[in-house]
Amino acid sequence: MLVFESPKEVQLFLKQLRGEGKVIGFVPTMGALHEGHLRLIRKARKESDVTVVSIFVNPIQFDDPGDFQRYPRTLHEDRYKLEMEGVQVLFLPSPEGMYPPGYSTFVEVENLDRYMEGAHRPGHFRGVATVVLKLFNIVKPHFAVFGLKDAQQYYIVKRMVEDLNLDLEIVPHETVREPDGLAMSSRNRLLSPESRKQATALYRALKLGKEMMFSGERDPKRIKAEMEKLLRTEAPLGKIDYIEIASLPDLQPVERVEGKVLLALAVRFPEARLIDNFILIPEDGLVWNERID
Amino acid sequence: MLVFESPKEVQLFLKQLRGEGKVIGFVPTMGALHEGHLRLIRKARKESDVTVVSIFVNPIQFDDPGDFQRYPRTLHEDRYKLEMEGVQVLFLPSPEGMYPPGYSTFVEVENLDRYMEGAHRPGHFRGVATVVLKLFNIVKPHFAVFGLKDAQQYYIVKRMVEDLNLDLEIVPHETVREPDGLAMSSRNRLLSPESRKQATALYRALKLGKEMMFSGERDPKRIKAEMEKLLRTEAPLGKIDYIEIASLPDLQPVERVEGKVLLALAVRFPEARLIDNFILIPEDGLVWNERID
């Protein structure tokens, strides 16, 4: 595995490979790699000649400096895992390399960032859009894989790619879960044993909301109220940031459940804030971002 | 000359040419082409295999709807001029093609947009940065030529290209002037004969400011006061928007003239608002963006 720290050097190297006709697949990450990341990487490996993974804990997407400090960093293990997966290129930039003195340019995807994560983490998606655009410009992949656990991020990145006429495909990947249903996340390892146990309630709340929709319930208020009740009972250590039902792909809260919707929630445990979601078509009884078992 | 209206089609076509090893030079314009544009195009022609010109009066960079309405549109003559120059590709997108329903993504270059044009035309550089990034992503040129009459725009675009890791060169071109010194601009044709006569005072004011600097004056206030006096006397039809001396490349007003500076002004005539500038190194007695005669 080749490791690059300089944006200019990896850009030049990959330009050459692209010139030789190689298909480049890209998986941007913040490291602390888990099985969810590895599944994204395997998908990229299958469809590309050269798989590029970036590890960069992007300071400008953290609204909370404490969260940035605490964010797990496990570079040694990450490199080993990437070697094992047969990743050919690891891009490992420094904050100074990405944001040198005088750095001034930021990208905003309006409206789609107004609710859910966008409302609760001011500036978060501005930081995400900016770093993702920079990474795309450096790597210039034919496609990039994004996990649907971060559903709002996926739709925002997709919108940006279309709006800015970027010539690449955004490939979604279903949410990967622990056996007990908890969505995989780098932040899970920060949880106390008690929080970890209660955190499975997020998945149960989503399943409850889904069942209500599949049974014909179309009033978001009633669905959200039942989910809230479940979370309050089964995850008392968690403070609910939001439970939302939003239209897709424009991510606006709905008055009535219709067509494809995002059912999303965020819960703040003492050690870490967790998010999870289902992307549903209730009329068809489908959850798009879940494995069909 | 091939003419494309669809972003996707011109993108695909140019991708093929780039794959064949052709060097692509790009000159983005808003049309109403004059000798200034043609000089930029000749520069691009000289250094590229394929010269691409875009004509697009970008609605999102106009803070004043009246200015957008009045902006001259001379497509028939423009096409003839481009044919005569040997331009191979004209990209002529529609507003709906560039900003389809649901369009949401915008680029901001902070701090550099705080003064001069940025202060007097709110949102202007956001619109410029966004459309220029889109055009770069569509055309993917090896280099793009920008005229230094729009000095602040040049520095903002250059900053954006560096910040977003775009793999292309921004080539500056000196300001092109009428025989009486008026900087060429598509808006000049809107001026009444009386305004047109008085408009030459902008150039004389810049030369006065330059002479004061070259004679050792380092106080921006005194230089600006003398320039203002000249404009008030010689261009009574014009309302001064600003006279500014700013540091480069960061475009902040200076307390003392030192190193490379931008001496810029904007004057509002009844029919059109005009801008002009010198980029100077007073210590060396040099004006960077003027022809040396």
Tell me the count of A-B CB pairs closer than 8 A: 74
What are B281's two structure tokens? 């190194």
User: In angstroms, rounded to a whole number, what is the distance separating the alpha carbons of residues B6 and B22?
Assistant: 21
Contacts of residue B167 in chain A, CB cutoff 8 Å?
11, 15, 137, 140
Does the pLDDT of residue A293 top 50, yes or no? no
Residue contact B163–A104, C-beta within 8 A: yes
Judged by phi (left if over 0) then psi (alpha if -120 to 50, else beta), residue B140 lies in: left
What are B103's two structure tokens? 């369009």
Digit-coded pLDDT (tens) for A124-143: 999 999 999 999 999 999 99
On whether the CB atoms of residues B261 and B247 are closer than 8 A, the answer is yes
| For residues A49-59, average pLDDT | 98
Contacts of residue B22 in chain A, CB cutoff 8 Å?
none
The three-class DSSP label of residue B228 is helix
Contacts of residue B106 in chain A, CB cutoff 8 Å?
107-108, 110
On whether the CB atoms of residues B205 and B238 are closer than 8 A, the answer is no
Closest C-alpha to A130, from A102, A149, A109, A144: A109
Does the pLDDT of residue B153 top 80, yes or no? yes
Nearest-CA distance B107 → chain A (Å): 5
Q: Return the residue of A nearest to B134 by Cα.
A: A164
Residue contact B11–A106, C-beta within 8 A: no
Angle at A113 between CA A94 and CA A92, to 5 degrees: 15
The pTM of the full predicted model, rounded to 2 decimals, is 0.96
Nearest-CA distance B132 → chain A (Å): 10
Q: Return the residue of B nearest to A114 by Cα.
A: B104
pLDDT at B293: 43
Number of neighbouring beta carbons within 10 Å of residue B293: 3
User: In angstroms, rounded to a whole number, what is the distance separating the alpha carbons of residues B117 and A271?
Assistant: 47
Residue contact B134–A165, C-beta within 8 A: yes
Q: Return the residue of B nearest to A132 by Cα.
A: B164
Residue contact A105–B109, C-beta within 8 A: yes
Digit-coded pLDDT (tens) for B170-184: 999 999 999 999 999
Closest C-alpha to A205, from A242, A174, A158: A242
Contacts of residue A137 in chain B, CB cutoff 8 Å?
164-167
Which of A105, A134, A140 has the CB atom closest to B159's CB atom? Answer: A105
Mean pLDDT, chain A, integer: 97
Catalytic residue among B37, B124, B142, B173: B37
Contacts of residue A138 in chain B, CB cutoff 8 Å?
165
Closest C-alpha to B168, from B200, B136, B198: B136
Nearest-CA distance B73 → chain A (Å): 25
Contacts of residue A111 in chain B, CB cutoff 8 Å?
104
| For residues B31-42, average pLDDT | 98
Digit-coded pLDDT (tens) for B246-284: 999 999 999 999 999 999 999 999 999 999 999 999 988
Most B CBs within 10 A among A137, A156, A162, A169, hence the mutation to make, goes to A137
Digit-coded pLDDT (tens) for A266-281: 999 999 999 999 999 9
**What sections of chain B are H helices per DSSP?**
7-19, 35-47, 65-70, 75-85, 95-98, 117-120, 124-139, 151-163, 193-198, 201-214, 220-234
Q: Return the residue of B nearest to A125 by Cα.
A: B105
Residue contact A137–B166, C-beta within 8 A: yes
Contacts of residue B109 in chain A, CB cutoff 8 Å?
104-105
Digit-coded pLDDT (tens) for A99-121: 999 999 999 999 999 999 999 99
Which residues of A have a catalytic role annotated? 37
Does the pLDDT of residue A199 top 80, yes or no? yes
| For residues A148-177, average pLDDT | 98
User: In angstroms, rounded to a whole number, what is the distance separating the alpha carbons of residues B6 and B35?
Assistant: 27
B10-23 b/e (C-beta count within 10 Å ≥ 16 → b) = bbebbeebbeeeee
pLDDT at B244: 98
* Domains defined along chain B, listed by start: 2-173 (3.40.50.620), 189-287 (3.30.1300.10)
Residue contact A11–B105, C-beta within 8 A: no
Residue contact B104–A11, C-beta within 8 A: no
Does the pLDDT of residue A246 top 70, yes or no? yes
Percentage of chain A exceeding pLDDT 90: 96
User: In angstroms, rounded to a whole number, what is the distance separating the alpha carbons of residues B219 and A173?
Assistant: 61
Residue contact A107–B105, C-beta within 8 A: yes
Q: Return the residue of B nearest to A97 by Cα.
A: B163
The three-class DSSP label of residue A164 is coil
DSSP state string for B47-74: H-SEEEEEE---GGG-S-HHHHHHS---
